[in-house]
């Protein structure tokens, strides 16, 4: 079930929120509000394909049992047994993710080297990257003594909570457990309801009114990268950059908004990342819950292993962390290159700062977006070859093809019979969206400063109505496939 679907908007969401507060508003049934959310979250996940529900339940059940042993052995100071159970849990989660996500990639590379293994064509279950990493992080917290609370219903809700289940944000056990235990949060708070609904509608508008408007041109461009010329290739790359941001941040806004409507706070995932003036600053603004996870659970442990921390070792850990993050995003060399490019960018940015080298801030902004743009070309392309073809066209390798209107103005001296992406009115649309990115405050800042009144209600109603009218061509969120 998609957030941008009629059944979710007009059936599932009202029933979920209404049932939660109906049960939570009564002292005797208060805990049933959490049980209600668990049941609806499992239904939400099963709606896509019920045959993957046992996989999610197996993952939740196994990790809950393993975490119990880890906590128990820590209390009894049986460090060896605690470590054994911790490693068993990590291996299980990594193996589960590895089987579904990387088996065919591994076989493809073996076949490239001369083997002849048949591919299994395994379908990737929705949300497996997110519910797996959430539970791996939880096991680390259990092993470190940070997570101690034991409640099966709360744990199942922590993992399966439907707003974040399919594409994040990545949640942490400790703050979520506090909220699930607090019975006062199960009563309607109209301020949270209003702000949460506002954020949800803004996210919906981002998805259906902006991100989805780029679907056709991006799909057409990356399907035939060999036909792209200079103008087309830049148009396609920038359009995908806009599509991915508004699609993913739109989902995140909707997830945070739904949770807030139920008085539950989950992490904000985006803070105007395309205004970043350095790649360090970019990752402080883009997919922020992932950045926190990478820093706390990949980078920091790597650095702490070193007896003597040096700048070189810290940079090696930085690159390795982003390399792993690239692999986590998907099974393919394109994702590995995506992670590696960001790893190199972070190393260069940290080195620049270490030696206090000066850079004109607008130039830093352009270089940052340039690196992000190139990395996203690899992120979107079907293969490394396709990505290189797009980049080759972007440096003029396939010549210059001006939009028809410009070519006509120039007396028809330019060939306009190739991709002609401008037929979709892309340049004007892209310019409008770029102006939104540069000058409009982030959606979370809008909600923070929001002063509800009838004018805002009219704006929301217009956005929602326009969004509903645009649902005839419903599309999945891009991050569902990761």
- State the Cα–Cα distance between residues 6 and 471, nearest whole angstrom: 8
b/e sequence 186-208, b meaning 16+ C-beta within 10 Å: bebbeebbbbbbbbbbbbbbbbb
- State the Cα–Cα distance between residues 451 and 191, nearest whole angstrom: 10
- State the Cα–Cα distance between residues 405 and 83, nearest whole angstrom: 67
* Residues with a known catalytic role: 329
- State the Cα–Cα distance between residues 45 and 369, nearest whole angstrom: 35
Tokens representing 248 are 């993913």
- State the Cα–Cα distance between residues 86 and 278, nearest whole angstrom: 37
Distances (CA, A) of 399 to 46, 233, 393, 394, 395: 49, 11, 7, 9, 9
Is the preceding omega at residue 27 within 30 degrees of 0, hence cis?
no
Contact by Cβ (8 Å): 160, 127: no
Tokens representing 167 are 């594409």
């Amino acid at each position: 079930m998609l957030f941008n679907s009629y059944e979710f908007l007009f059936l599932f969401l009202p029933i979920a929120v209404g049932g939660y507060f109906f049960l939570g508003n009564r002292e005797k049934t208060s805990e049933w509000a959490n049980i209600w959310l668990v049941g609806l979250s499992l239904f939400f996940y099963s709606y896509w394909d019920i045959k993957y529900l046992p996989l999610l339940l197996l993952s939740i059940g196994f990790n809950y049992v393993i975490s119990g042993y880890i906590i128990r052995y820590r209390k009894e100071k049986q460090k060896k047994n605690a470590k054994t159970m911790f490693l068993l849990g990590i291996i299980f989660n990594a193996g589960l993710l590895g089987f579904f996500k990387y088996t065919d990639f591994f076989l493809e590379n073996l076949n490239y080297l001369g083997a002849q293994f048949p591919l299994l064509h395994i379908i990737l279950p929705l949300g497996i990257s997110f519910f797996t990493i959430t539970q791996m992080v939880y096991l680390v917290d259990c092993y470190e003594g940070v997570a101690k609370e034991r409640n099966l219903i709360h744990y199942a809700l922590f993992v399966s909570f439907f707003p974040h289940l399919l594409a994040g944000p990545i949640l942490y056990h400790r703050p979520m457990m506090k909220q699930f235990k607090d019975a006062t949060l199960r009563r309607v708070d109209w301020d949270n309801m209003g702000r949460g609904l506002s954020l949800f509608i803004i996210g919906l508008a981002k998805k259906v009114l902006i991100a989805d408007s780029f679907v056709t041109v991006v799909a057409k461009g990356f399907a035939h990268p060999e036909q792209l010329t200079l103008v087309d290739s830049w148009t396609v790359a920038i359009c995908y950059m806009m599509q991915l941001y508004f699609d993913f941040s739109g989902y995140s806004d909707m997830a945070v908004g739904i949770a807030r409507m139920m008085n539950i706070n989950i992490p904000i995932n985006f803070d105007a990342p395309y205004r970043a003036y350095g790649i360090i600053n970019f990752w402080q603004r883009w997919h922020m819950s992932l950045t926190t996870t990478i820093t706390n659970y990949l980078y920091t442990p790597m650095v702490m292993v070193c007896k003597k921390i040096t700048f070189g070792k810290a940079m090696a850990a930085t690159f390795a962390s982003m390399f792993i993050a690239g692999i986590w995003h998907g099974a393919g060399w394109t994702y590995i290159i995506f992670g590696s490019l960001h790893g190199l960018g972070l190393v260069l940015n940290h080195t620049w700062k270490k030696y206090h080298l000066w850079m004109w801030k607008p130039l830093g902004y352009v270089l940052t977006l340039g690196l992000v743009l190139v990395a996203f070309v690899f992120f979107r392309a079907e293969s490394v070859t396709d990505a290189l073809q797009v980049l080759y066209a972007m440096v003029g390798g396939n010549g210059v093809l001006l939009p028809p209107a410009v070519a006509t103005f120039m007396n028809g001296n330019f060939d306009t019979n190739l991709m002609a992406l401008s037929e979709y009115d892309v340049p004007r649309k892209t310019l409008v969206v770029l102006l939104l990115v540069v000058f409009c405050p982030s959606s979370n800042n809008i909600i923070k400063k929001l002063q509800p009144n009838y004018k805002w209600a009219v704006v929301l109603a217009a956005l929602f109505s326009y969004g509903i009218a645009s649902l005839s061509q419903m599309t999945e969120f891009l991050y569902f496939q990761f």
